[in-house]
Amino acid sequence: MSKYDIIVLGSGPGGYVTAIRASQLGFKTAIVEKENLGGVCLNWGCIPTKALLKSAQVFEYLKHADDYGLSVKEFDKDFGAVVKRSRGVADGMSKGIQFLMKKNKIDVIEGYGTLKTGKKIDVDGTEYSADHIIVATGARSRELPNLPQDGKKVIGYREAMTLPEQPKKMIVVGSGAIGVEFAYFYNSMGTDVTIVEYLPNVVPVEDEDVSKQLERSFKKIGIKVMTSAEVTTIDTSGEGVKATVKTAKGEEVLEADIILSAVGIKTNIENIGLEDVGIAVDRDKILVNDFYQTNVPGYYAIGDVTPGQALAHVASAEGILCVEKIAGMHVEPIDYGNIPGCTYASPEIASVGLTEKQAKEKGYELKIGKFPFSASGKASAAGNKDGFVKVIFDAKYGEWLGCHMIGAGVTDMIAEAVLGRKLETTGHEVLKTIHPHPTMSEAVMEAVAAAYDEVIHI
């Protein structure tokens, strides 16, 4: 039996980062993967979807070349080539992880791993042991009873990335990050898209102002949006698919070629031996302490399978903290109130901290500032004037409670707010920090100025 210091089960952005950090700290490390190194994020999620969205963005630029004083007489899309490029990007990233495993002398064990008692893992009949076993098995597309996925007419995110033909009509059920990103991509490619959202607002975890702006932007480009709506039944017996949608006005039947179910994720915790080992689980999540230890000594869990936010960057941070704690380093628990969230549709969305509604519910007296990109010189020059930056401060002490952005490139801007909040900066300090002009990022400073009644450009 092969013996290791640390074995990581799953090689997504939680697992492979954990393994690399463990190796850096001197642990003899192995990683178990049943499919592709990089997990869902690199192969079927974060990375290939961004490649699809980039193709959509370039196509949009071609469609609006006249707006920039350019004349492009003939252009078209090749849907198959767009998908192929996306897969190529994913394959390249996965090969990069293979290189990192070799560079860091991490053993890659291919196969299906099952936890065993006595700090062991069985991989397709071969047992391996370790002093520490870290579960990082991630999650998959969640299925609703009234919306079963058949992989052809009712699909999840995996199939949405590799459809052999572009559908003429698509219904997207759910308007979280996955739903709105695919809605934007397919609409840009020319598909007639309708979003059906159960809650009153699209991207319901975001600040209400952001949700309303995205709905306006989507309707402007031809995406139909139905909120406070529920798909009650589907009929796949015909050539396409029919969905009965219940709203406050009654029932409506929508017809499409394909339904994309984007109603959240389901953790991969079945059939990996949790019950045999006695690891505690509650409501689809493995219970862990602040350092990702389960109730059974020697077994740990990170990423989507634990109660924190199901985001790639959260999984990576959890894995690093977990192995640093094992190594005896002084580490502090992650502040889950300061995790940035990003959505890569167009316009992009990025946020951190409390929404306005949450801040009011907590009893804060607020200073709120908002700066529209329509007043930004850089946004105007780029032709991307949709959206804004909204900042929320505690009026009493100047604490930066929340930051919410919607617009071009905002996912690359949100880190300023995350860092500022980590360093406990105040509104006054942000306001007096000189931002470069003309940039999209100076909208952060302008929004803070608006909160403190010092705004210049609106």
**Which of 41-50, 273-282, 283-292, 317-326 shows the lowest mean pLDDT across its residues?**
41-50
50 assigned binding-site residue: yes
pLDDT value at residue 100: 96
Q: Are residues 270 and 353 in the same domain?
A: no
Q: Does the residue 341 lie in any domain?
A: no
- Is 179 a known ligand-binding residue? yes
77-128: per-residue pLDDT in tens?
999 999 999 999 999 999 999 999 999 999 999 999 999 999 999 999 999 9
- Please tell me the predicted confidence (pLDDT) of residue 380: 96
Give me the mean pLDDT over the 229-248 stretch. Answer: 94
Confidence band for 1, pLDDT divided at 50, 70 and 90 = low
Kindly state whether residue 456 falls inside one of the protein's structural domains. Answer: no
The verdict on whether residue 174 carries a ligand-binding annotation is yes
On whether 90 is known to bind a ligand per the annotation, the reply is no
Q: Domain holding 406: CATH number?
A: 3.30.390.30
Q: pLDDT tens across 387-431, in order?
A: 999 999 999 999 999 999 999 999 999 999 999 999 999 999 999
The answer to the question of whether 269 is labelled as a binding residue is no
Q: Give the total number of structural domains in the chain.
A: 3
Mean pLDDT of 314-326: 98
Predicted confidence at residue 43, as pLDDT, reads 87
State yes or no: 134 annotated in a binding site: no
Q: Is it the case that residue 146 has pLDDT exceeding 80?
A: yes
- Enzyme catalytic residues: 437
How much is the mean pLDDT over the chain?
A: 96
Shared domain for 280 and 256, answered yes or no, is no
Residue 165, pLDDT above cutoff 90: yes
307 lies in the same domain as 201: no
- pLDDT, one tens digit per residue, over 334-367 is 999 999 999 999 999 999 999 999 999 999 999 9
Task: Please check whether residue 149 lies inside any domain of the structure.
Answer: no
Residue 273 and residue 256 share a domain = no
On whether both 175 and 132 belong to a single domain, the answer is no
What's the chain look like in SS3?
Answer: CEEEEEEEECCCCCHHHHHHHHHHCCCCEEEEECCCCCHHHHHHCHHHHHHHHHHHHHHHHHHCHHHHCCCCCCCCCCHHHHHHHHHHHHHHHHHHHHHHHHHCCCEEEECCEEEECCCEEEECCEEEEEEEEEECCCEEECCECCECCCCCCEECHHHHHCCCCCCCEEEEECCCHHHHHHHHHHHHHCCEEEEECCCCCCCCCCCHHHHHHHHHHHHHCCCEEECCCEEEEEECCCCCEEEEEEECCEEEEEEECEEEECCCEEECCCCCCHHHHCCCEECCEECCCCCCECCCCCEEECHHHCCCCCCHHHHHHHHHHHHHHHCCCCCCCCCHHHCCEEECCCCEEEEEECCHHHHHHCCCCEEEEEEEHHHCHHHHHHCCCCCEEEEEEECCCCEEEEEEEEECCHHHCCHHHHHHHHCCCEHHHHHCCCCCCCCCCHHHHHHHHHHCCCCCCC
Residues of the domain holding 132: 2-141+266-336
Q: Are residues 218 and 309 in the same domain?
A: no
In this structure, the answer to whether residues 216 and 297 fall within a common structural domain is: no
